[in-house]
Amino acid sequence: MLPQRQAHIEAFASRHPGTVYPLAGPLWTRRLFWSGFLICFFAASIHLGLSFERFWRGLGDLGVIMRQMWPPTHHGFWREYIGALGETLAMAFLGTLAASLISLPLGFLGARNVVKSWPIHFGLRRALDVVRGVDTLVWALIFVSVVGLGPFAGILAIALNDTGVLAKIYAEAIENIDRRSSEAVRAAGGTEADVARLAIFPQVFPVLIANSLYFFEANTRSATILGVVGAGGIGYFLADRIRVNAWSDVAFIILLILPTVAVIDILSRWLRGLAQGRQRNAVMR
């Protein structure tokens, strides 16, 4: 039976090359790829100074810091910490709200089924690429130099960076709508403004809400870092306590941030599900 089975395998392999035995060409290609990958990995590790010795020594230092974090204390500054945390939430909310409102008309301008001018599409898409190509932290550094220290710079940084992403998402959502509703509004004598208001916007509204809520959730986390560069919020206290090695205060601030982010995550997930559920119900009707 074994020779007969082997004969069947060989016959199958001859009819379908590469299924049983790897082909010589692709095999050498994979070997060259992985060899090049390993060479690049080790070269980058050597250039960047990565080593297991430093990692192991760093674990020991991390253990010392973790011991200094316990027990978490606030040293009487808990009101300031809670106020700064509220400031961080306000930064995330206002930045996301501003980005959502600005991105809505930009999304209509960037949708090919709404504005058919190629230069407008190309110029707008490239401008959005530039905006979202710069990280929020870099925008915060720029706006701190422009408007000064404080949460206003953080709000501007969040709003500008999110506009570059949300406008692209909104435009793609508008391009993927059901065209029949737009044709029905036009057939009834509606203008292009009527088409946008009555046919396009109701279809994409749940998508816009879901994405804006997701960005608010993400911005709640990222806004805690903006204070490091002077953009206000709880990040200012966090960076200050780390600089002076007040690790028990750092632990207290982290324990304030974690449940806040978790609650925002749960609420935004529930609201996104609610918006998407309404969209599905509308489609089924």
Distance of CA 90 to the CA centre of its chain: 19
pLDDT confidence of residue 277: 65
For residue range 128-166, list pLDDT tens digits in order.
888 888 888 888 888 888 888 888 888 898 899 889 888
The CATH number of the domain covering residues in 81-284? 1.10.3720.10
pLDDT over 60 at 86, yes or no:
yes
For residue range 236-274, list pLDDT tens digits in order.
888 888 888 888 888 888 888 888 888 888 887 787 777
Contact assessment for residue 135 and residue 164, using Cβ atoms and an 8 Å cutoff: no
Which 3 state secondary structure label does DSSP give 191?
A: coil
- Binning pLDDT at 50, 70 and 90, where does residue 180 land? confident
The mean-pLDDT minimum among 83-87, 141-145, 170-174, 203-207 falls in 203-207
pLDDT over 80 at 191, yes or no:
no
Write the burial class of residue 259 (CB in 10 Å: 0-12 exposed, 13-18 middle, 19+ buried): exposed
For residue range 193-241, list pLDDT tens digits in order.
667 777 777 777 888 888 888 888 888 888 888 877 777 778 888 888 8
- Binning pLDDT at 50, 70 and 90, where does residue 98 land? very high
Q: Where are the domains of the chain?
A: 14-63, 81-284
pTM: 0.73
Percent of the chain with pLDDT over 90: 2
Contact assessment for residue 261 and residue 112, using Cβ atoms and an 8 Å cutoff: no
The mean-pLDDT minimum among 40-49, 173-182, 220-229 falls in 173-182
pLDDT confidence of residue 1: 47
Alpha-carbon gap, residue 248 to 285, rounded angstroms: 56
- The mean predicted confidence, pLDDT, of the chain is 79
Average pLDDT over residues 16-23: 59
Average pLDDT over residues 106-126: 79
Contact assessment for residue 279 and residue 100, using Cβ atoms and an 8 Å cutoff: no
